[in-house]
Amino acid sequence: MPVPLLIVDDEAAHMRALCDTLQLEGYATTGVVSASAALAEMRGKAFDLLLTDLKMPEMDGIALLRAAQEIDADVAGIVMTGHGTIDTAVKAMQAGACDYIVKPFRMNQLVPVISRALEARRLRRLNKELERRILERTRELEVANRDLEAFAYSVSHDLHAPLRAIQSFCDLFVADYGAAVPAEGQTLLAHVRTGAERMGRLIEDLLSFARSGSAPINLRRVAMNELVGEVVAELGRESAGRQVDLSVRPLPDCLADPALLKQVLFNLLSNALKYTAGRDPARIEVGGELKEDEAVYSVTDNGAGFDMKYADKLFGVFQRLHSQAEFKGTGIGLSIVQRIVERHGGTVQGEGRPGEGATFRFSVPVRPGAKG
């Protein structure tokens, strides 16, 4: 489709000459001899570009461009100006005209000016379209996040209630009729109860996974050694009575959400503790170093380790490389770690050897806008 141009010149002969030549160049031209006629045309039909004379009796080219852009904000403009009025042409640029051309000019001078103005118009529109799409996507994401939160809430609410009913009816049954139930029946009841408890944990874990993706990120400078200290203190209760050699090296600070990063450390260190059960002593080391814009931290243990063949499964939701009989767990801890680290613009990897231990390394930016 030929690009529609509107040409305004109070000298009818000049206007017609422009129309004819630009038509030959492949444009769909419409010519008028006054600003008011130009505005009337624009109200009836869309033009990509307005090529206007500067000096016209009822309204000059600059005022016309302003009025034209009120009708169609996207229209490109070129003002044709005489030699003595270059500074007025500059004003025209400021008014939003894309370009100007000094009269008299030859056609082979005008055509590139027109293509340039049309290209600028195309880029301006593309930019607007991209901005619009970003806004749209952001709104969609906000809605999706709200939906997810609502879903998480209803899951916790709706699934917990019947689960509690199962558990308490089990307890009631045992209390009222337990004596009459033979040992085999007692075992079955115990299985029902353990199953219900496990489902409760799964729901809780799924909820915290959902939250790790939707919680807002508040970036702060994080004193990593302090944060590790807090997590170690909290985990101390779990490892009470065990022989654990823990060494925490001096760690670089980073820029992260402290609450979310604490969750990362908690999950990695509780894994290190869990998968070293049976080691005497269990050895766990936390290290870290600066690498360009990132701090790279590591948690190493001398525990059960794992087969690198399945390394890609580590971070999947509910994916486990050890059986419940060996080590209890849901398989959500590392998926939360990965989600949080990636939301900060970093990455996480695991390295292990069966029977020899494992190392988990993750990176976090140290400066604003460094990554992600």
Ligand X SMILES: Nc1ncnc2c1ncn2[C@@H]1O[C@H](COP(=O)(O)OP(=O)(O)OP(=O)(O)O)[C@@H](O)[C@H]1O
Residues that bind ligand X (CB under 6 A): 205, 267, 271-272, 275, 301, 303-306, 314, 320-322, 329-335, 352, 358
| Structural tokens at position 135 | 């806004």
| Structural tokens at position 249 | 């090296």
The item of Mg ion, ligand X, none sharing an interface with residue 305, based on CB under 5 to 8 Å by kind, is: ligand X
Whether the Cβ atoms of residue 305 and residue 279 lie closer than 8 Å to each other: no
| Structural tokens at position 110 | 């005008």
Judged by CB under 5 A, which stretch of 54-62, 79-87, 263-271, 309-317 contacts Mg ion? 263-271
Q: Which lies closer to ligand X via its Cβ, residue 30 or residue 302?
A: 302
DSSP 90-152: HHHHHTT--EEEESS--HHHHHHHHHHHHHHHHHHHHHHHHHHHHHHHHHHHHHHHHHHHHHH
- Say whether residue 333 binds Mg ion (CB under 5 A): yes
Q: Which of 271, 276, 302, 363 binds Mg ion (CB under 5 A)?
A: 271
Q: Which lies closer to Mg ion via its Cβ, residue 270 or residue 347?
A: 270
User: Residue 45 and residue 64: Cα distance in Å, rounded?
Assistant: 16
Q: Which lies closer to ligand X via its Cβ, residue 320 or residue 339?
A: 320
Query: From the CB of 246, what's the least distance to ligand X, in Å?
Result: 14
Q: Please report how the helices 333-343 and 183-214 are oriented relative to each other, as an axis angle in degrees rounded to 10.
A: 0
Query: From the CB of 208, what's the least distance to ligand X, in Å?
Result: 9
Q: Which residue of the chain is nearest Mg ion when measured via CB?
A: 333
Q: Which lies closer to ligand X via its Cβ, residue 101 or residue 206?
A: 206
Q: Please report how the helices 61-71 and 86-94 are oriented relative to each other, as an axis angle in degrees rounded to 10.
A: 10
CB atoms within 10 A of CB 112: 11
- Say whether residue 335 binds Mg ion (CB under 5 A): no
Q: Which lies closer to ligand X via its Cβ, residue 27 or residue 209?
A: 209
User: Residue 196 and residue 203: Cα distance in Å, rounded?
Assistant: 11
The item of ligand X, Mg ion, none sharing an interface with residue 212, based on CB under 5 to 8 Å by kind, is: none
Query: From the CB of 202, what's the least distance to ligand X, in Å?
Result: 9
Structural Rg of the chain based on CA atoms:
35
Query: What are the residues binding Mg ion (CB under 5 A)?
Result: 271, 333
